[in-house]
DNA sequence: GTGAAAGCGCTAACAT
DNA sequence: ATGTTAGCGCTTTCAC
């Protein structure tokens, strides 16, 4: 036996076996199973009995080859280990399951090469569609899929005119900043991964700046920290960065509020602050992003921005279905985010949701 | 156009097109691409040029149909949204990618019906193997896959004689309890999802009881809480449960230590304790399970048990490869867990890892 | 209402 | 070293 040969050689039951047992011809079995022609009730039940008896399960590869569609959908995420992406994937999986679509997952793990290799494989698999969740700076990979004729959907992201489902990042953060200003915060630090790669991160940052400008904040009141370390191990990176930086804020008059692009980054800052014994939210306040499960119960409760991953996933999937059926009305869907006020940063009560949940 | 018809009808380039352009016959192209025969350097380069020029990408369905193997692997998890399962999946995805295997993910989302439907679809897809991570009480589903002839691997789980990769739950918890005893804790509460479904949870619980028995603890010192609410929304459920229960511990002499089956459950308890103003770890101590990313930075740092998800995933994948190649030596792999002492429960220093990371 | 027949794109055994 | 050929399991015209 060759080393690379599988021992999957066991005979599987085919449509022919079913046909034979039912005393009909394969195409009849196919028609019964797919309801693609009217079959007499008698033959129908004979066929179904044979299917049952042989425990027949149609071969999806053969079907795909013939039908020129696979009922496979590719989902490429930046990092399946992070709660946001995992929830997006879960949502798409849920929709797909109802539909008998299968999901081929591609986890870039923050690495462009991984993404490329994964997407190329998805193309070979002839996925009926490809949903990119997050990411950026990967035009070449998208082109590859585009040239292969794979319908593409962008989730939590925008790229050229590809159909997309996005959150209203800029406006939400602008609104957030205004609330913070109204609450009396004077000094602002924006803490995020570098924004060059991901457009949605850039939008958030711009919303941050816009909001402050509209409030009339001066340059001295604004500090910005972009750091590569905030990409992968966000908490650790954040803790390391702010363990040093944080002391500087103590000199300033008024409270420093940290606006971050991620709850985990916020936790790193909180951890650093606790270590230094800085009172929260008195001398230092923090706002996260994503509203992960823990954020409601962390002490202090984390003020953050919730994104409905389930809604994002569902919309991506539905957009995909529309695209492959050639019925696209609206190509760009924008979803609202929700500002959630808790203890880590005090927000004025009007207009935002106070969700303590307890 | 029929409603159900896709507009994927665009002609894709096939091996015939490549052969034609290169002036050879399809099988030669196949041989070049798969290195399955020796081809003269000259034809080889001609073929490759044609492949390049036409941007040819082989059709995986056709190949699968012919080869009777799909290079598809199914991964079924209990809940992709939780960090543990997501990391396991990420690890398998990483291994599979290197190998040009694709992963079809099935997320049960804690629902047996979901699992069943998902697995049936995976069977139709003719996955070369199926890795179950976690779960239980689903014999019928496993049988279905078994009868379909799909090689099965169990991860973080044991079922009959199926090849498996597990953690040494019983011994780890036994060891943990002994350390807690040695540290002087007198009162113990075990907090977990019900253990009927998942064998590994049962092992942990038994390790807990064994450890305490060996230490000579009396029945009055032991309390056990199994609750359905700890399955899905673990933190919320935990908080709700212990918000009431926790007060009772204040009457007792000595500190109550909570041994839990999950970090999130531990956080629910911590949140409840903080709300009640109970000093940690003075009057109440907590041990988690899984060592999620946040646990190192939470204040107080969470004493917990780390499981190497990457190692689990890798071992599952490698076991799968061995199984399909018919070379299985050891069918059951047991991995060590790691007890990590932090501030939420004090452990004696000897024999365990003090991982503060800062 | 059912059967006959072709073919989706690829690989593998065999022939040359 | 390359070409010929058959066929994987299914669907889908097209006859009857």
**DSSP of B291-341, one letter per residue?**
--GGGGTSSSPPBEEE--HHHHHHHHHHHHHHHHTT--S--EEEE--EEE-
Nearest-Cα residue of chain B relative to residue A320: B6
Q: Which of A62, A243, A274 sits opposite B299 (nearest CB)?
A: A274
Half-sphere exposure of A231 (CA within 13 A, CB side): 16
Question: What is the rounded average pLDDT of the residues A89-99?
Answer: 96
Cβ contact B231:B197 at 8 Å: no
Nucleotides of strand C under 7 angstroms from a protein beta carbon: 1-5, 7-14
For position A358, what pLDDT does the model report?
A: 34
What pLDDT is attached to residue B7? 44
Q: Please answer yes or no on whether A128 and B8 come within 8 Å at the CB atom.
A: yes
Rounded to 5 degrees, what are φ and ψ at B203?
-60, -40
pLDDT at A107 over 70: yes
Tell me how far apart the alpha carbons of residues A48 and B87 are, in angstroms, rounded to a whole number: 42
Nearest to B294 among A105, A120, A235 (CB): A235
Tell me which chain B residues have a C-beta less than 8 angstroms from the C-beta of A70: 61
Distance CA B264, CA B270 (A): 10
Q: Calculate the angstrom distance between C1' of D14 and CA of A68.
A: 21
Residue A280 reports pLDDT greater than 80: yes
pLDDT reported for residue B352: 55
Residues of A with CB below 8 A from B108's CB?
none
Could you tell me the sign of the dihedral formed by the alpha carbons of A12, A18, A20, A25, in that order? negative
pLDDT at A252 over 70: no
Distance, Å, A25 CA → D5 C1': 26
Q: Which band of pLDDT confidence, cut at 50, 70 and 90, is reported for residue A9?
A: very low
- A225 contacts chain B (CB < 8 A): no
Residue A346 clears pLDDT 60, i.e. is over it: yes
Across the interface, whether the CB atoms of A236 and B94 are under 8 A apart is answered: no
Percent of chain A's residues with pLDDT above 90: 85
Q: Which residue is nearest to nucleotide D8 (CA to C1')?
A: B66
The edge-to-edge listing of strands for the beta sheet with B332-335 is: A332-335, A164-167, A152-155, A129-133, A72-77, A102-107, B102-107, B72-77, B129-133, B152-155, B164-167, B332-335
CA of A59 to C1' of D5 (A): 24
Beta bridge partners of A279: none
Residue A144 CA distance to nucleotide D1 C1' (Å): 34
Answer yes or no: do A271 and B147 touch at CB < 8 A.
no
Q: Enumerate residues 6+ apart whose C-beta is below 8 A from A49.
A: A22
Question: Measured between beta carbons, which residues in chain A are less than 8 angstroms from residue B236?
Answer: 296-297, 357
Interchain CB distance below 8 Å, B7 and A106: no
**What is the distance in angstroms measured between the alpha-carbon CA of B278 and the sugar C1' of C5?**
80
Which pLDDT belongs to residue A249? 58
Q: Report yes or no: B154 and B201 within 8 Å, Cβ to Cβ.
A: no
B326/A125 touch (CB, cutoff 8 Å), yes or no: no
Nearest to A8 among B9, B69, B268 (CB): B69
Query: Mind listing the pLDDT tens digit of every residue in chain B (358 residues)?
Result: 333 334 444 678 999 999 999 999 999 999 999 999 999 999 999 999 999 999 999 999 999 999 999 999 999 999 999 999 999 999 999 999 999 999 999 999 999 999 999 999 999 999 999 999 999 899 999 999 999 999 999 999 999 999 999 999 999 999 999 999 999 999 999 999 999 889 999 999 999 999 999 999 999 999 999 999 999 999 999 999 999 888 765 566 789 999 999 999 999 999 999 999 998 888 899 999 999 999 999 999 999 999 999 999 999 999 999 999 988 767 899 999 999 999 999 999 765 555 543 3
| Nucleic acid strand C within 7 Å of B213 CB | no
Question: Bigger pLDDT: A309 or A197?
Answer: A309
Distance from CA of A242 to the nearest CA of B (A): 13
Is 90 exceeded by the pLDDT of residue A163? yes
Predicted structure pTM score: 0.94
Determine whether the interchain pair B236/A103 forms a contact, defined as Cβ–Cβ distance below 8 Å.
Answer: no
Query: Which residues from chain A sit within 8 angstroms of residue B52, using beta carbons?
Result: none
Roughly what angle, to the nearest 10 degrees, separates helices A169-183 and A199-215?
Answer: 30
Does A90 contact B at CB distance below 8 Å?
yes
Q: How far is A236 from chain B (nearest CA, A)?
A: 8
A-B CB pairs within 8 A amount to: 205
Q: For the segment A125-142, what is each residue's pLDDT rounded down to a tens digit?
A: 999 999 999 998 999 999
Q: What is the pLDDT of residue A136?
A: 87
User: How far away is chain A from the Cα of B48, in angstroms, using its nearest Cα?
Assistant: 17
Cβ distance A187 to A256 under 8 Å?
A: yes
Annotate A148-195 with DSSP letters as a single string: TT--EEEES---TTS-EEEE-HHHHHHHHHHHHHHHT--EEEEEES-S
* Res A251: pLDDT: 60
Tell if the CB–CB gap between B358 and A239 is shorter than 8 Å: yes
Mean pLDDT estimate for chain A: 92
The DSSP letter of residue A327 is -
Collapse the DSSP code of A222 into the 3-class scheme (helix H, G, I; strand E, B; otherwise coil) and give the result: strand
How many Å from the CA of A34 to C1' of D12?
A: 12
Q: Which of residues 302-341 of B touch A (CB under 8 A)?
A: 324-326
Say yes or no for a CB contact (<8 Å) between A264 and B293: yes
Structure tokens at A296: 């409601």
Helices B263-276 + B234-249 axis angle, to 10: 50
Contact assignment for B60 to A1 by CB distance below 8 Å: no
Q: Is the CB of B15 under 7 A from strand C?
A: yes
pLDDT of A343? 95
Q: Which residue of A has its CA nearest to B77?
A: A90
How many other CB atoms are found less than 10 A from the CB of residue B289?
Answer: 28
- Of all nucleotides in the shown strands, which has a C1' nearest the CA of B65? D8
Beta strands in chain A (DSSP E): 72-77, 102-107, 129-133, 152-155, 164-167, 187-192, 222-226, 256-260, 284-287, 304-306, 332-335, 338-340
Q: Chain D bases under 7 Å from protein CB?
A: 1-5, 7-13
As a whole number of angstroms, the distance between CA B42 and CA B330 comes to 46
Residue nearest to nucleotide C3 (CA to C1'): A25
Minimum Cα–Cα distance from B5: chain A residue:
A325
Tokens of A140: 């070449």
For residues A83 and A292, the answer to whether their CB atoms sit within 8 Å is yes
Residue of B69, B80, B149 lying closest to A89 (CB–CB): B80
Q: Provide, as residue numbers in chain A, all residues whose Cβ is less than 8 Å from the Cβ of B1.
A: 326
Would you call A69 an interface residue with chain B, using a CB distance cutoff of 8 Å? yes
Which residues surround strand D, with CB < 7 Å? Answer: A 11-12, 14-16, 26-27, 29-31, 33-34, 36-37, 56, 58-59, 62-63, 65-67; B 23-28, 31, 37-40, 42-44, 62, 65-66, 68
Tell me the nearest-neighbour CA distance from B345 into chain A, angstroms: 18
């Amino acid at each position: 036996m060759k080393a690379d040969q599988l021992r999957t050689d066991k005979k599987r039951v085919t449509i022919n076996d079913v046909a034979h047992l039912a005393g009909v011809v394969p195409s009849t079995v196919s028609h019964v199973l797919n309801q693609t022609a009217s079959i007499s009730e008698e033959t129908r039940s004979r066929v179904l009995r044979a299917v049952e008896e042989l425990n027949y399960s149609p071969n999806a590869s053969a079907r795909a080859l013939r039908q020129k569609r696979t009922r496979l959908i590719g989902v490429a995420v930046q990092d399946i280990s992070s709660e946001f992406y995992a929830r997006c994937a879960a949502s798409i999986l849920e929709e797909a399951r109802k539909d008998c679509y299968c999901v081929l997952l591609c986890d870039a793990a923050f690495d462009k090469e991984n993404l490329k290799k994964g997407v190329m494989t998805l193309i070979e698999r002839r996925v009926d569609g490809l949903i990119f969740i997050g990411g950026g700076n990967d035009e070449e990979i998208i082109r590859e899929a585009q040239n292969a004729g794979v319908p593409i959907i962008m989730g939590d992201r925008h790229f050229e005119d590809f159909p997309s489902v996005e959150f209203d990042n800029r406006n939400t953060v602008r609104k957030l900043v205004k609330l913070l200003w109204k609450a009396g915060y004077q000094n602002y630090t924006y803490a995020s991964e570098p924004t060059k790669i991901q457009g949605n991160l850039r939008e958030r940052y711009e919303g941050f700046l816009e909001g402050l400008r509209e409030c009339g904040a001066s340059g001295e009141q604004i500090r910005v920290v972009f750091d590569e370390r905030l990409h992968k191990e966000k908490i650790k990176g954040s803790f390391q960065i702010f363990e040093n930086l944080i002391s500087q804020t103590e000199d300033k008059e008024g409270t420093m509020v940290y606006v971050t692009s991620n709850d985990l980054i916020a936790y790193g800052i909180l951890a650093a602050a606790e270590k230094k014994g800085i009172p929260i939210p008195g001398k230092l306040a923090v706002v996260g992003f994503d509203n992960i499960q823990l954020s409601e119960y962390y002490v202090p409760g984390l003020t953050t921005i919730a994104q409905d991953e389930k809604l994002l996933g569902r919309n991506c999937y539905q957009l995909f279905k529309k695209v492959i059926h050639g019925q696209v009305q609206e190509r760009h869907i924008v979803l609202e985010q929700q500002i959630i006020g808790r203890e880590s940063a005090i927000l004025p009560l009007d207009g935002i949701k106070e969700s303590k949940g307890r």
